[in-house]
Amino acid sequence: MERTLSIIKPDGVRKNVIGEVIKRFEGAGIHIVAMKMLKLSKEDAKRFYAVHKDRPFYDSLTDFMSSGPIVVMVLEGNDVIKKNRELMGATNYKEAAAGTIRRDFATDIEQNVVHGSDGPDTAVVEIAFFFNQLEIYS
Ligand code: IDP
pLDDT tens track, the chain, 138 positions: 999 999 999 999 999 999 999 999 999 999 999 999 999 999 999 999 999 999 999 999 999 999 999 999 999 999 999 999 999 999 999 999 999 999 999 999 999 999 999 999 999 999 999 999 999 998
The residues annotated as belonging to the active site are 115
The total of structural domains in the chain comes to 1
CATH number of residue 56's parent domain: 3.30.70.141
Which pTM does this prediction carry?
A: 0.98
- Residue 128's domain comprises 2-135
List all residues whose CB is within 6 A of at least one atom of ligand 1. Answer: 57, 61, 91, 109-110, 112, 115, 118
* Pairwise CA distance, residues 80 & 61, whole Å: 25
Q: Measured in angstroms, how far is the CA atom of residue 84 from the centroid of ligand 1?
A: 16
* Pairwise CA distance, residues 46 & 69, whole Å: 16
- Residue whose CB lies within 8 A of the most ligand 1 atoms, among 6, 91, 117, for a mutation test: 91
Q: Which atom number of ligand 1 is nearest to the Cα of residue 85?
A: 3
